[in-house]
Amino acid sequence: MPYPADFKYAKSHEWVKPDGKNATIGITNYAQESLGDIVFVDLPKVGSEITAGKSFGSVESVKAVSDLYAPVSGTVTAVNDELAKSPENINKNAHGAWMLKIDVKNADELKALLSSADYEKFVAEEGGH
Amino acid sequence: MKHVTRKATRHVSQNEGLVFEKSSAGKAAWKLPPLDVPEVDTEKALGASGRKDLGNMPEVSEIEIIRHFTRLSTWNYAIDLGMYPLGSCTMKYNPRVNEVVARLDGLANGHPYQPEKISQGALRILKTLSECLVEITGMDAITLQPAAGAHGELTGLLMVRAHHHSKGHPRKKILIPDSAHGTNPATAATVGYAVENLKSNSQGMVDTAALAAQMNEDVAALMLTNPNTLGVFEQEIHKIADIMHAKGGLLYMDGANMNALVGKVRPGDFGVDLMHLNLHKTFSTPHGGGGPGSGPVAVKQFLEPFLPKPVVISKPNGTLGFDYSRPQSVGRVRAFYGNFGMFVRALAYIFANGPDGLRQTTEDAVLNANYIRKGLEGSYDLPYSTPSMHEVVFSDKLQAKKGVRTMDIAKRLIDYGFHPYTTAFPLIVPGALMIEPTESESKEEMDLFIEAMRSIAEEVTEDAQLVLDAPHSTRVSRLDEVAAARKPILRWKPQ
Amino acid sequence: MRYLPKSPADREAILKAIGARSIDDLFAPIPAEYRLNRDLQIPRQMAESEIVDWFRERSRENGDEYTSFLGAGAYLHYRPVIIDALISRGEFLTAYTPYQAEVSQGTLQSIFEFQTMISELTGMEVANASMYDGSTAATEAAMMAVRLTGRHSVVLARSIHPEYQEVLSTYAQHQGLGLTTVRFGDDGRIDLTQLQKAITPQTACVLIQSPNFFGTIEDHTALADIAHKSGAMLVVSIAEAISLGIVEPPRQADIVAMEAQSFGVPLGFGGPYCGVIATREQYVRQMPGRLVGQTTDRNGKRGFVLTLATREQHIRREKATSNICTNQALVALMVNIFMTVYGKVGLRELAKQNLAKAAYAAKEFSRHAKVLFTGAPRFNEFVVQTTTDPYDINNRLLEHKIVGGLPLKKFYPELGNAALWCCTEMTGRQSIDTAVRVAAEPTSASKSVPEADVEEVTR
**On the CB side of B126, how many CA atoms lie within 13 Å of its CA?**
31
Q: Is the pLDDT of residue C459 over 50?
A: no
Length of chain B measured in residues: 495
We report the CATH number of the domain holding residue A74 as 2.40.50.100
B151 falls in which pLDDT band (50, 70, 90)? very high
Residue among B66, B93, B319 minimizing CB distance to C3: B93
Q: Is the pLDDT of residue C443 over 80?
A: no
Q: What percent of chain C has pLDDT over 90?
A: 90
Q: Is the pLDDT of residue A129 over 70?
A: no
Average pLDDT over residues B176-190: 86
Among chain A residues, CA nearest to C308:
A62
Q: How many domains does chain A contain in total? A: 1
pLDDT in tens, B312-330: 999 999 999 999 999 999 9
Taking each helix axis from N to C end, the angle separating B443-462 and B406-415, rounded to the nearest 10 degrees, works out to 120
Average pLDDT over residues B453-463: 96
Residues 273-292 of B with CB under 8 A from C: 278, 280, 286-292
CATH topology of domain B97-350: Aspartate Aminotransferase; domain 2 (3.40.640)
CB contact (8 A) between residue C305 and residue B481: yes
Among the residue ranges B202-211, B298-307, B404-413, the one predicted with the least confidence is: B202-211
Q: What pLDDT was estimated at residue B289?
A: 95
Q: What pLDDT was estimated at residue C455?
A: 46
Q: Are strands C67-68 and C402-403 parallel, antiparallel or unpaired?
A: parallel
- In single-letter form, the type of residue at position B319 comes to T
Of the candidates B405, B402, B380, the residue with the CA atom closest to the CA atom of residue B392: B380
Q: What percent of chain A has pLDDT over 70?
A: 97
CA Rg value for chain B: 25
Across B182-240, where does the E strand assignment appear?
194-198, 219-225
Q: d(Cα C385, Cα C370) in Å, to the nearest integer?
A: 5
Chain B contacts of A37, Cβ < 8 Å? 482
Domain annotation covers residue A66: yes
- Cα separations in angstroms, B306 against B303, B328, B329, B338: 6, 5, 4, 17
Q: What pLDDT was estimated at residue C450?
A: 52
Q: Is the pLDDT of residue B258 over 90?
A: yes
Chain A contacts of B424, Cβ < 8 Å? 63
pLDDT in tens, C88-130: 999 999 999 999 999 999 999 999 999 999 999 999 999 999 9
Domain annotation covers residue A56: yes
Q: What pLDDT was estimated at residue B197?
A: 92
Q: Which chains have 3 or more CB–CB distances shorter than 8 Å to chain C?
A: A, B
Domain span at residue A22 reads: 8-124
Q: What pLDDT was estimated at residue B323?
A: 96
Q: d(Cα B408, Cα B402) in Å, to the nearest integer?
A: 12
Q: d(Cα B128, Cα B121) in Å, to the nearest integer?
A: 11
Among chain A residues, CA nearest to C286:
A42
Mutating which of B479, B482, B487, B489 best tests the A interface, going by the most A Cβ atoms within 10 A?
A: B482
Q: Is the pLDDT of residue B158 over 90?
A: yes
Which residues are paired to A104 by β-bridges? A74
Would you kindly state where each structural domain of chain B is located, as residue ranges?
Answer: 1-75, 97-350, 360-481
**Chain A contact present for C316, CB below 8 A:** yes
Domain annotation covers residue A1: no
Residue among A62, A87, A88 minimizing CB distance to B481: A62
Q: d(Cα C206, Cα C157) in Å, to the nearest integer?
A: 8
Domain annotation covers residue A72: yes
CB contact (8 A) between residue A88 and residue B481: no
B183 falls in which pLDDT band (50, 70, 90)? confident
pLDDT in tens, B277-311: 999 999 999 999 999 999 999 999 999 999 999 99
Q: What pLDDT was estimated at residue A2?
A: 81
Secondary structure element (H or E) that encloses residue B121, with its range:
helix B120-137
Q: Which domains does chain C have, with CATH numbers?
A: 12-60 (no CATH), 67-77+344-457 (3.90.1150.10), 82-339 (3.40.640.10)
Mean pLDDT, chain B, rounded, equals 95
Q: d(Cα C305, Cα B391) in Å, to the nearest integer?
A: 27
More confident: C442 or A128? C442
C313 falls in which pLDDT band (50, 70, 90)? confident
Q: What pLDDT was estimated at residue C310?
A: 80
- Cα separations in angstroms, B430 against B363, B405, B407, C6: 29, 10, 12, 34
Is the bond preceding residue C266 a cis peptide, omega within 30 degrees? no
Mean pLDDT, chain C, rounded, equals 94
How close A21 comes to chain B (CA, Å)? 34
Residues 373-412 of C with CB under 8 A from B: 377, 394, 398, 403, 406
B202 falls in which pLDDT band (50, 70, 90)? confident
* Cα torsion angle, B261, B265, B266, B267, sign: negative
Task: Report H helices in C67-133.
Answer: 82-87, 90-93, 105-122
More confident: B427 or C140? C140
The strands making up B392-395's β-sheet, listed across from edge to edge, are B392-395, B432-435, B422-423
Q: d(Cα B370, Cα B392) in Å, to the nearest integer?
A: 8
Q: What pLDDT was estimated at residue C444?
A: 63
CATH number of B360-481: 3.90.1150.10
Average pLDDT over residues B169-176: 94
Domain annotation covers residue A90: yes
Q: Is the pLDDT of residue C213 over 80?
A: yes
Q: d(Cα B29, Cα B12) in Å, to the nearest integer?
A: 28
Q: What pLDDT was estimated at residue C458?
A: 39
Grouping H, G, I as helix, E, B as strand and the rest as coil, residue B266 is coil
Average pLDDT over residues C322-345: 92
Give the angle subtended at the CA of C27 by the CAs of C25 and C30, to the nearest 5°.
Answer: 130
Mutating which of A60, A61, A63 best tests the C interface, going by the most C Cβ atoms within 10 A?
A: A60
How close C265 comes to chain A (CA, Å)? 34
Domain annotation covers residue A2: no
How close A40 comes to chain B (CA, Å)? 6
**Chain C contact present for B350, CB below 8 A:** yes
